[in-house]
Amino acid sequence: MSEQPQKTPKKDTRNRRLPRTATLWFLFALLSLLAFQFMRGNDRGGGEVSYTELHRQIESDNVLKVTFQGDTRVEGEFRNTVTIDESDVTEFHTQLPSAEVTDELSDLMRAHGVEITARPRGPGIGTYMFSIIPVFLFIAFWIWMLRAMQSGGNRAFQFGRSRARLISPDTPQVTFQDVAGAEEAKLELEEIIEFLKDPPRFSRLGGRLPKGVLLVGPPGTGKTLLGRAVAGEAGRPFFQMSGSDFVEMFVGVGASRVRDLFEQGKAHAPCIIFVDEIDAVGRHRGAGLGGGHDEREQTLNALLVEMDGFEANEGVILLAATNRPDVLDPALLRPGRFDRQVVVDLPDVKGREGILRVHAKKLPLEEDVELSLIARGTPGLSGADLSNVCNEAALFAARRGVERVAMEDFEQAKDKVMLGTERRSMVLTDAERRLTAFHEAGHVVIAVKVPGLDPVHKVTIVPRGRALGLTASLPEEDRHSHTRDWLNGQLAMLFGGRVAEELEFGLEKVTTGAGNDIERATAMARRMVTRFGMSDRIGLMAVGDSEQEVFLGRELVQRREVSDYTARKVDEEVKRILDEAHGRARRIIDANRSLLADLASALLERETLDSVEIRMLVEGRELPPLRSDFEENGKEEAELPGAAEPATAPKPGLGSAEPLPSPG
């Protein structure tokens, strides 16, 4: 039995026809009024009499009275009926030929005893049009504006309405199966979803539905993706909005949108409202910018009241995300508003592998691809970075004209994402290449001779990004804290390139290539003194980075809470730590000049050395000869599986040692 086609229901157009009908009737009445005024002006005064006939009737004393309208029109009444064009006329009107004959005609009328009056001429049809049309346009404008404000569509003048978008079931869904690397956050959010689906299970013991959940974490860790997954898993109405959507130039609009958003939520309760980047509206009040009546603060006040004010707001869960929890107002973070704060941090090695598997589902992979090795080689990368690695690997494979993505494509993608794009078109002189080779070799010598440092994975003198050379270290496992010995070793490694330049070329020949190394070493030494308590002279006192002047949300700048004496001691300690690191690097490289020369020669010959080749040079073994096909391409054979670089992007300079960033 065939299915009958369903008829599409006709839209009710009565509401649209009513305003149009009223407008047509209004126009008809306006035109009728104008026509009436025009006909009245033309018919007033009886029959038309020529100026010559009027002159003759005045001379025969047959004109009783006249009325001048302006300078060129005369209306009047005859004493006796006059036959004009076979019509008997008692009242008449005459169009004077010019304004100059008015005085002459007036003298003639006075001589014959005619009663004379005068009045200004009435307005014509043009005057009526110009006086009535603006009124009509003003009334039409107000009718249109009221209709626009009362309608439910995205029309003008709806400033106070919320811009939240209701996620419909037809929208492509993202579920928790598409999210990896944030297992704890998923558990927290799954409990919220179960609470929405089965409230009696939790409320039977006195529990209540959480009012707010705040997702906190660095950029790119998947906070918005988790919000989309909640929308796909909840099975309840889900409203999505950005924190910047509350901000408007008109006063009171932000607070109005907050109230309208929660009114929509109450109408669909129980439901979830997701606000991305809530720090745009939830910053700390009283920051000294904009005064106490700042529009943003009024919007925040409305949000605080709607979340937990005098009136209960049941059945609406506010899910928000931010990467700046330090600037949020304390009243917004308290329990009762945001009952839970879910930390979405950078993934560990297991989480990175799961993220890679999620993104690699869409890629045709070769059998040699081992995602676990790629995960171990990408410490510090966020979910967004790993997604970019998979995308770049697919693009590299497409450029090669193959049908599947191989391990070498992932290796090149990691190099591009973490270190920058190779700049082989940048031509260096022989002197620059030699200086860069010794600079990077100095970093490698310190890395292999100082115990406890991360193994060097790759060193290259091929320009990448804004650096002329790079030395990349690969940790054997994820680090969550660092020892004092490790930090001192990193300082020595950062000075290794500068020391190699000094020993090989002399102090007069050193270049600006170590500028970024010195800057990073200074910042690390200052944190050791001011934040980590790793100075015997300063002790366990958090001095703070007083030189930074940034807007913190609570005040415009960060004040220095230490005396000038303490600040001077801090500077002296930082200088001492840097001098000791520089002297340590000089002693190590001076004792290993032959290894420094071997590494520099190998870099000049091959441009890039991997961890195996570096280990062979350290052990005094000769490197295998280069293959000719790779010499034509200007680079070595594909990297070993599992090779990787740290997540820190290189800065401008001659070379850059790339250890993992220190904590904090």
The CATH number given to whatever domain includes residue 88 is 3.30.720.210
Closest alpha carbon to 389 in 644, 639, 156: 644
- Is residue 148 in a domain? no
Alpha helix positions (H), 290-425: 295-308, 330-333, 349-360, 371-376, 383-400, 407-419
Phi first, then psi: what are they for 623, rounded to 5°? -80, 150
Query: Between β-strands 87-95 and 165-167, what pairing exists: parallel, antiparallel or unpaired?
Result: unpaired
Spell out the residues 6+ positions from residue 543 whose beta carbon is closer than 8 angstroms to its own: 529, 530, 531, 562, 566, 567, 570
The whole-angstrom separation of Cα 657 and Cα 496 is 9
Query: Between β-strands 456-460 and 340-343, what pairing exists: parallel, antiparallel or unpaired?
Result: unpaired
CATH number at residue 482: 1.20.58.760
Q: Is the peptide bond before 270 cis (omega within 30 degrees of 0)?
A: yes
Burial 103-128 (b: 16+ CB within 10 A, else e): eebbebbeeeebeeeeeeeeeeeeeb
Task: Please check whether residue 484 is in contact with residue 577, taking contact to mean a CB–CB distance below 8 angstroms.
Answer: no
CA angle 456, 457, 458 (to 5 degrees): 100
Q: Are residues 295 and 378 in the same domain?
A: no
- Is residue 131 in a domain? no
Residue range(s) defining the domain that contains residue 612: 430-658
Q: Are residues 100 and 211 in the same domain?
A: no
Spell out the residues 6+ positions from residue 639 whose beta carbon is closer than 8 angstroms to its own: 408, 411, 458, 610
Q: Are residues 229 and 305 in the same domain?
A: yes
Q: What is the pLDDT of residue 583?
A: 94
Q: What is the pLDDT of residue 345?
A: 87
From residue 222, how far is each of 181, 317, 345 by CA, in Å?
A: 9, 20, 9
Q: Which of 362, 386, 418 is the last residue of a domain?
A: 418
Alpha helix positions (H), 62-172: 101-111, 125-150
Q: What is the pLDDT of residue 547?
A: 43
The whole-angstrom separation of Cα 436 and Cα 604 is 9
Catalytic-role residue among 188, 440, 573, 658:
440
CATH number at residue 386: 1.10.8.60
Q: Are residues 512 and 616 in the same domain?
A: yes
Q: What is the pLDDT of residue 637?
A: 38
Q: Are residues 338 and 398 in the same domain?
A: no
Q: What stretch of H or E contains 168?
A: none
Task: Please check whether residue 299 is in contact with residue 260, taking contact to mean a CB–CB distance below 8 angstroms.
Answer: no
Q: Are residues 542 and 438 in the same domain?
A: yes
- Is residue 506 in a domain? yes
Amino acid identity of 19?
P
- Is residue 4 in a domain? no
Q: How many domains does the chain have?
A: 4
Q: Are residues 446 and 506 in the same domain?
A: yes
Measured in whole angstroms, the distance separating CA 536 from the mean position of its chain's CA atoms is 45
Task: Please check whether residue 75 is in contact with residue 67, taking contact to mean a CB–CB distance below 8 angstroms.
Answer: yes
CATH number at residue 202: 3.40.50.300
Q: Are residues 387 and 460 in the same domain?
A: no
- Is residue 128 in a domain? no
Annotate 486-538 with DSSP letters as a single string. Answer: HHHHHHHHHHHHHHHHHHHH-GGG--GGGHHHHHHHHHHHHHHHHTS---TTT
Measured in whole angstroms, the distance separating CA 27 from the mean position of its chain's CA atoms is 48
- Is residue 15 in a domain? no
Q: Are residues 313 and 263 in the same domain?
A: yes
- Return the CA Rg of the chain: 43
Task: Please check whether residue 48 is in contact with residue 92, taking contact to mean a CB–CB distance below 8 angstroms.
Answer: yes
Task: Please check whether residue 345 is in contact with residue 221, taking contact to mean a CB–CB distance below 8 angstroms.
Answer: yes
Instruction: Give the tens place of pLDDT for each residue, 196-227.
Output: 777 778 777 777 778 888 999 889 888 888 88
Closest alpha carbon to 45 in 82, 115, 94: 94
Q: What is the pLDDT of residue 167?
A: 65
Q: Are residues 442 and 391 in the same domain?
A: no
- Is residue 137 in a domain? no
- Is residue 132 in a domain? no
Query: Between β-strands 47-48 and 87-95, what pairing exists: parallel, antiparallel or unpaired?
Result: parallel
Low-confidence residues of the chain: pLDDT under 50: 1-14, 43-45, 151-157, 289-293, 546-557, 629-653, 658-664
The whole-angstrom separation of Cα 297 and Cα 141 is 34
Q: Which of 322, 343, 364 is the last residue of a domain?
A: 343
Q: Are residues 109 and 224 in the same domain?
A: no
The whole-angstrom separation of Cα 348 and Cα 379 is 8
The pair of structure tokens assigned to 118 is 């005068």
The whole-angstrom separation of Cα 218 and Cα 382 is 8
From residue 143, how far is each of 15, 20, 22 by CA, in Å?
A: 14, 11, 11
The whole-angstrom separation of Cα 180 and Cα 139 is 59
Amino acid identity of 511?
T
Q: What is the pLDDT of residue 109?
A: 83
The DSSP output letter for 291 is -
Strand order in the sheet with 656-658: 608-610, 456-460, 470-473, 656-658
Q: Are residues 457 and 388 in the same domain?
A: no
| Catalytic status, residue 440 | yes
The whole-angstrom separation of Cα 211 and Cα 317 is 5
Q: Which of 308, 323, 343 is the last residue of a domain?
A: 343
| pTM higher than 0.75 | no
